[in-house]
Amino acid sequence: MQGFQGFMWLLNMALTVFSAFALLDAAVRREDAYRAADKKTKPFWLIILGLALVVNLLFSILSFLPIIGLIATIVYMVDVRPAIRALPGGGRSSRGSSSDGPYGPWNGGR
């Protein structure tokens, strides 16, 4: 029985880390990137993923609420995140491209 309990604990920790990663990833993306990718809004995804993280922390994996949170996290990671990352700049809030110099983009002397 201890082996099953240890497995369930590891599974619960993996789901919690997965939900936390998705929440942090959603938090660093630009708000306008969600609208540009036509994937609801940033506050919507922050609330959904935050609730999924809280549910994973409070409830056992054997109840249905963490499963719903897992589904929401998977939808974000499989559908929303790739759509936002496909946008120019990757949807991250930054000053510009990594190849930008002080006077604009560096094009290798072309």
Nearest to 11 by CA among 43, 59, 72: 59
- What pTM, to 2 d.p., does this model score? 0.76
Q: Is the pLDDT of residue 110 over 60?
A: no
List pLDDT tens digits, range 79-97: 999 999 988 876 665 555 5
List pLDDT tens digits, range 16-47: 999 999 999 999 999 989 988 888 999 999 99
All residues at 6 or more sequence positions from 92 whose CB lies less than 8 Å from its CB, including other chains? 28, 29, 30
Q: Which residue has the tokens 């936390």?
A: 20
Residue 107: the pLDDT is 62
Would you call 105 helix, strand, or coil by DSSP? strand
Transcribe 11-44 into DSSP letters. HHHHHHHHHHHHHHHHHHB-HHHHHHTTS--HHH
